[in-house]
Chains A and B, each alone.
Chain A
Amino acid sequence: MFCSHDSSLATLRTRLADLGGLRPDEILFTGLATLDSRLPGGGLACGALHEFASEREADGAATALLAFLAGRLAEEAGSPILWVTRRDDLFPPGILRFGCPAHRLLLVRCRTRPEVLWAMEEGLRSPAVAGVVGDTESLNFTWSRRLQLAARRARRPALLLRDRAAPLEASAAATRWRVVSVPSAPGAGGGPGAPRWHLELVRCRGGAPRNWRVGFDASRGVLAESPGFAKVAPGVAETVLRGRR
């Protein structure tokens, strides 16, 4: 017991893992070191519900980020992702650019919110899929709790995409994020450049809230730190940083 500080920490970690904590093969890494290091376990926990809210209606940032995470998950696990949605406007060629090829997706179109919840639970119960993405406007606390329990039992991640400007309710998700598009650096020919987002970790079990400014490098298919602020009209930055809670 009287070993060096590091090895006792390591021992504690393994013991925690055995008691039901996070094992290294149950973490989804986003690939961005500054992001992963701030999350408990070093990445997104697999046996949990993670919520990504978009706030603005016409904002594709959350969709794109979830496409990226789904692509990473599918590639690491080698099996498809169940994408459950009530909308009909998901565009596979666009999703492909963020690392999620069409043949890794199993799309389920539901008509009602109970159907979305049921389909997500079915997907989590099946060993055939690597994870479940749910596309729904809002989710009350009871349902988020059910999904969190289902994800924990299955040891697979459930990623929730909340795409409308619905008020944030209490949720049992392990991590809650806000994803907003921010102006990008100038691209070729003066057009929009690489996608750039403001990621805010609103709530995290076992971690502290934090903001990041990330961009997506389409050529390599990875997230990259993108701290520089492009010239932005005054007032927009405040709106972005001081969004409603």
Chain B
Amino acid sequence: MKRRFAHVRLAGLGVDRLLREQALADGIPAATVAPVRGRPVVIARNRAAAAAGVAVNQQLADARALCATLVVASVDPEADRRSLLALVEQCQRIAPWVGIDRDTGAHGHGLFLDITGCSHLYGGEDGMVRALSRLLARGAIRGRIAIADTPGAAWAWSHSGRRQSPILAPGEQEHALASLPVAALRLPDRDAQTLERLGILSIGALSAIPRHALRMRFGPGIGQRLDQAAGREPEPIEPLPPRSPMAAWADFAEPMVAPEGVVATLRGLLPRLALRLARELAGARRLELSVRRVDGSRDVARIGTARATRDVSHLAGLFAPAIERIDPSPGIERIWLEAIEVELLDGQPKPRRPGRDGGAGSRQGNSGHLAWRMAEGDALATLIDRLVSRLGADRVLRPALRESHLPEEQSEYRRAIDAPDGSPSPACGSAQADRPVRLFRRPEPIRFPAASHGSAAGPPSGFFWRGAFRRLSRIGDCERVIGPWWRSPPVADEIRDYFRVETESGERLWLVRSGDEAVRWSVHGIFG
């Protein structure tokens, strides 16, 4: 079988990422820069920038002078590498052997694919080029694709400016490459410059020179490149191993229509997934169960946990409410269970925490006489997971105290799934003042007859609230709360006067007077 290779030349991963992250439209010029000898130099640019006159290896200052609206970002090799690896993973769905091109310059990127025997799956090599283009377009990555008999020829063809078609027919590469410049052979810079000085500009001219002369002057490298491009010498690519997903799946020869079948299959898949996780010493934080039916439709159920876990029964319990919503008809042909987010679990049994009261040395966790039921941290995370799976992560909360002038901001709630272990709040000054056990979200206004009108000194002696008339028997001191000055008005301008009061029947309320010209009295909370 004739071998065929494809090369994808990635024009500028950094620029593509910049356009994606900042959601820039196509016509906006963008470039990535890196410091060269202390000065920022343009490394890659998009078409709009090139049209404005920005060139590679140009100083950024010059580029900005030519194009004032240029959007610039620094090169980020780590992010580029991550994008490249993600792209490799995608390309592995098209052809199994995908390798990274190491011959492109310091800031360029490329991929080699060995597509021998794969193109018929896409209806020919045209179809394969289209599939690859679609893949790049989906990721908003610019690239040029070429297919040829050898990696060297494909590399040269993808870098070539003038070409009718990205595909070089078998055996055509010698003829096609002859007119390309010498640099298309991936020669070291020094050799390429020397050849240029000597007047040897095209590959055709280079191949006409007798080999022994080239070897004497430049060493064996050039001859090797020529042979590799022509196909006389093999050039292997180093494929990256495919990343096997942390998943377990089941295919059904007969489409499954019974709803209990999903539950039963899940119970069989979870131990297999747990075994895979165990081999990596990991636990799952987020899992996804996807179901594919015979008519091509899919359904997905997702769960998350507060703590990485492999516990099969716990995960089965978390999936139970989500699975109930999956309708198997007209029939399920595949069920796929994957751990999307995975964390390392240390296999050590968790030691009993010495003191949960954070700091009070004398109180160990088991001094209370009911403490034989002291919980392990895992049991709490399990409970939180179960509550969250039915109610939602925003409704299982951990309260905490906060410093603030305004009473309604003196407490905050954090999602328990983010912080399963509560920690004692730092001692807040607000904890010293007397505060109500219930604080209404919005103070409830009170009405009072004009006779007992609230004077500037204190609250009215009798008023209507929640449909009943209440007469005050005790009125406490005034606590003035002034809005924090560092906030913007109207919060900053607020002045509230709070009074602890008691009615004749014994209810203890928190009255508040607010407003300057239009004085309003309301009940903000209830005391114990």
List residues of chain A with CB under 8 Å of any chain B CB. Answer: 24-26, 28, 46, 56-61, 63-65, 67, 73, 75-80, 82, 87-98, 101-110, 115, 118-119, 122-123, 126-130, 155-156, 180-184, 186-193, 195-196, 216, 218, 232-233, 236, 239-240
Contacts and interface: CB of A to CB of B under 8 A. Distances in A.
Interface residues of B, number: 71
A123 B95 CA distance: 52
B455 interface: no
Given A67-B437, A92-B400, A107-B398, 14 more contacts: A58-B507, A60-B436, A60-B527, A77-B373, A78-B371, A79-B380, A93-B431, A97-B528, A98-B528, A101-B424, A105-B398, A110-B391, A127-B379, A195-B508
B439 A89 contact: yes
B527 A80 contact: no
Given A57-B466, A91-B439, A79 B375 contact: yes
Interface stretch (B155-163, B469-477, B480-488): B469-477
Contact of B411 (A60, A61, A77, A93): A93
Interface string B510-528: 0000000000000101111
Contacts of B411: 91-93, 102
Contacts, number: 242
B424 A103 contact: yes
Interface in B223-252: none
B466 A103 contact: no
Contact of A216 (B410, B431, B435, B528): B528
B413 A191 contact: no
Contacts of B438: 60, 63, 87, 89-91, 94
Nearest to B383: A126
B477 A191 contact: yes
Contacts of A126: 375, 379-380, 382-383, 386
Nearest to B434: A97
A104 B421 CA distance: 10
B423 A103 contact: yes
Contact of A25 (B372, B396, B509): B372
Given A103-B425, A191-B500, A192-B474, A108 B528 contact: no
A182 B474 CA distance: 12
B116 interface: no
A128 B465 CA distance: 42
Given A58-B526, A78-B374, A94 B383 contact: no
Contacts of B295: none
A104 B506 contact: no
Q: Lowest 6 CB-CB distances: which A-B pairs, in order?
A: A64-B528, A191-B476, A76-B368, A103-B422, A128-B379, A128-B380
A129 B370 contact: no
B476 A239 contact: no
Given A76-B369, A93-B410, A101-B424, A119 B476 contact: no
A118 B505 contact: no
Contacts of A191: 474-477, 500-502
A141 to B, nearest CB: 25
A95 B366 CA distance: 24
Contacts of A110: 391, 395
Contact of A192 (B431, B502, B525): B502
A102 B368 contact: no
A91 B408 CA distance: 9
Nearest to B523: A58
Contacts of A192: 474, 476, 500-502, 508, 527
B401 A92 contact: yes
Given A61-B528, A64-B528, A92-B411, A183 B430 contact: no
Contacts of B528: 60-61, 63-65, 67, 94, 97-98, 181, 195, 216
Contacts of B509: 58
B431 A109 contact: no
A233 B506 CA distance: 11
A151 to B, nearest CB: 13
Contacts of A182: 506
B416 interface: yes
A122 B399 CA distance: 20
B504 interface: yes
B390 interface: yes
B495 interface: no
